[in-house]
């Protein structure tokens, strides 16, 4: 970027560099973000805990057990849009290795990360800081690394071990996501593979999106990721020992206390479209802390890029509903979400059918 006097304006440094470089006692003004204290949920309220789905009963339970879990899944999707998945069979050690590999990437010297800094949304590998430093008003206390793992597997060649670990992690996570999608399909009264077929899941997008949140001297005055919804069908998330994911539930922000080794799963925008608002894509955010670096890996799974999601006809017919959304390819939708339009109103609102 160039200023009017022709001088280069330095790009915003990674927040890691900034946080490592000085002993900050205050959040720099470019990062100042205010949260509404009245919306903070009570962390001790037992009601404020996202539902737990026992994955083993989906795949190897008796038909009765499976039917019961599908009911629980339906309730979790309707009432929360977020749930934890336990007993999924992905080894804790693999999850930990994936977090460690991403940590080693963020720890590379800034010079070595530069080659992966790009602005193009769908580049197979990209790293950067904040969200959209060119247009945003407030910078986020977060660096990221996004690698597309499906339909084509991509990988970094450094740090050592990243390729092997991310290949195994992306495969195993995708298997879990596929089963969850089957369960969600059934919970809507459809064939288990209905959504996968309609969304061209075999060519579907899977992104390994790692977030790095350094220690912040004033956690209440900055934000890791502000309120947003995820663009895909379902996102599966893991994190290191530091919490920070908050979910908007009944107008309050609820901190997700995930069991160690569990996946945190949430419904994305494409699923809200398919279900004509029955399963909503829930607002969530990442807060930062003043104790230790937090790393999360969000793994959004979506349709193939050329597939437009539309409310499911069989579902509409059964519910006697008119479609609430028009179609847009997943690629166009992602572009919309990454651009200035997303600051004007939620992206789903651009697709809502207008009734006169
Ligand atoms: O770090 C987290 O817990 C949330 C990450 C997230 O929401 C995202 O990457 O979309
Ligand atoms: Fe998210």
What pLDDT, in 10s, does the model give residues 267-305?
A: 999 999 999 999 999 999 999 999 999 999 999 999 999
238-250 average pLDDT score: 96
SS3 259: coil
Burial 281-299 (b: 16+ CB within 10 A, else e): bbbbbbbbbeeebbbbbbb
Q: Could you tell me the distance, in angstroms and rounded to a whole number, from the CA of residue 163 to the centre of ligand 2?
A: 24
142-167 average pLDDT score: 97
pLDDT score, position 9: 38
Alpha-carbon span 104 to 162, nearest angstrom: 9
Ligand 1 pocket test, pick from 286, 289, 295 with the greatest ligand atom count within 8 Å of Cβ, gives 286
Q: Is the CB of 211 under 6 A from ligand 1?
A: yes
pLDDT score, position 354: 86
Q: Is the CB of 266 under 6 A from ligand 1?
A: no
SS3 223: coil
SS3 55: helix
Residue nearest to atom 7 of ligand 1 (CA): 285
pLDDT score, position 57: 96
Q: Could you tell me the distance, in angstroms and rounded to a whole number, from the CA of residue 226 to the centre of ligand 1?
A: 9
Residue 157: pLDDT band (50, 70, 90) is very high
Residue nearest to atom 8 of ligand 1 (CA): 298
pLDDT score, position 38: 85
Q: Is the pLDDT of residue 24 over 80?
A: no
Nearest to 178 by CA among 147, 204, 151: 204
Residue nearest to atom 9 of ligand 1 (CA): 298
Q: Is the CB of 245 under 6 A from ligand 1?
A: yes
Read off the pLDDT of residues 166-210 as tens digits, 9 standing for 90 and up.
999 999 999 999 999 999 999 999 999 999 999 999 999 999 999
Nearest to 237 by CA among 301, 183, 171: 301
Q: Counting ligands in written order, which one lies closest to the CA of residue 268?
A: 2
pLDDT score, position 311: 98
Read off the pLDDT of residues 216-242 as tens digits, 9 standing for 90 and up.
999 999 999 999 999 999 999 999 999
Q: Is the CB of 143 under 6 A from ligand 1?
A: no
Read off the pLDDT of residues 37-70 as tens digits, 9 standing for 90 and up.
888 887 777 777 899 999 999 998 899 999 999 9
pLDDT score, position 135: 84
| E strands, 240-309, in order | 245-249, 252-255, 263-267, 284-286, 294-301
> Closest ligand 1 atom to the C-alpha of 298?
9
**CA angle 210-112-211, nearest 5°?**
10
pLDDT score, position 134: 82
Q: Is the CB of 209 under 6 A from ligand 1?
A: yes
Taken as a whole, the chain contains a residue count of 356
Q: Specify the higher pLDDT residue, 4 or 279.
A: 279
Percent of the chain with pLDDT strictly greater than 90 = 84
| E strands, 134-292, in order | 143-150, 206-213, 225-228, 234-239, 245-249, 252-255, 263-267, 284-286
Token couple for 114? 């530069």
For the ranges 34-48, 112-126, 133-147, 315-329, the lowest mean pLDDT is seen at 34-48
Q: Could you tell me the distance, in angstroms and rounded to a whole number, from the CA of residue 318 to the centre of ligand 2?
A: 31
| E strands, 51-96, in order | 52-54, 82-86
Residue-averaged pLDDT of the chain: 93
The bridge status of strand 245-249 relative to strand 284-286 is antiparallel
Read off the pLDDT of residues 77-97 as tens digits, 9 standing for 90 and up.
999 999 999 999 999 999 999
The torsion angles phi and psi of 239, rounded to 5 degrees, stand at: -150, 160
Q: Is the CB of 185 under 6 A from ligand 1?
A: no
> Closest ligand 1 atom to the C-alpha of 294?
1
Beta pairing partners, 129: 143
Q: Is the CB of 288 under 6 A from ligand 1?
A: no
> CA distances (Å), 257 to each of 83, 178, 351, in order?
11, 24, 33
pLDDT score, position 10: 44
Q: Is the CB of 97 under 6 A from ligand 1?
A: no
Q: Is 68 exposed, middle or buried (0-12, 13-18, 19+ CB in 10 A)?
A: middle
pLDDT score, position 1: 37
């Amino acid at each position: 970027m160039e200023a009017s006097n022709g001088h280069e304006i330095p790009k915003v440094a990674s927040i890691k560099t900034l946080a490592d470089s000085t002993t900050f006692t205050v959040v720099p003004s470019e990062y100042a973000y205010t949260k509404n204290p009245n919306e903070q949920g009570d962390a001790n309220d037992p009601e404020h805990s996202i539902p737990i789905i026992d994955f083993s009963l989906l795949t190897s339970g008796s038909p009765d057990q499976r039917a019961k879990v599908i009911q629980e899944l339906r309730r979790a999707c309707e009432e929360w849009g977020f749930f934890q998945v336990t007993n999924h069979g992905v080894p804790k050690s693999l999850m930990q290795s994936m977090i460690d590999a991403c940590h080693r990437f963020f720890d590379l010297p800034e010079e070595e990360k530069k080659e992966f800094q790009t602005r193009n949304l769908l580049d197979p590998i990209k790293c950067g800081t904040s969200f959209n430093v060119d247009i945003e008003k407030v910078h986020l206390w977060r660096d990221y690394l996004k690698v597309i793992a499906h339909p084509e597997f991509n990988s970094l060649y450094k740090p050592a071990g990243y390729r092997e670990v991310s290949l195994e992690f992306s495969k195993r996570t995708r298997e879990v996501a596929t089963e969850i999608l089957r369960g969600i399909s059934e919970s809507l009264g459809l064939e288990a593979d209905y959504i996968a077929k309609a969304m061209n899941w075999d060519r579907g997008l899977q992104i390994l999106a790692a977030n790095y949140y350094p220690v912040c001297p004033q956690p209440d005055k900055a934000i890791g990721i502000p309120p947003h919804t995820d663009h895909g069908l379902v996102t599966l998330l893991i994190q290191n020992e530091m919490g920070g994911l908050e979910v908007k539930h009944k107008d309050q922000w609820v901190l997700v206390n995930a069991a160690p080794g569990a996946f945190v799963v949430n419904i994305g925008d494409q699923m809200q479209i398919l279900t004509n608002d029955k399963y909503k894509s829930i607002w969530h955010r990442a807060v930062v802390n003043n104790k230790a670096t937090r790393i999360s890996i969000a793994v959004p799974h979506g349709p193939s890029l050329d597939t437009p999601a539309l409310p499911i006809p069989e579902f509409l017919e059964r519910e006697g509903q008119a479609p609430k959304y028009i179609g847009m390819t997943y690629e166009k939708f992602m572009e919309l979400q990454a651009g200035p339009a997303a600051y004007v109103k939620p992206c789903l609102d651009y697709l809502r059918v207008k009734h006169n």
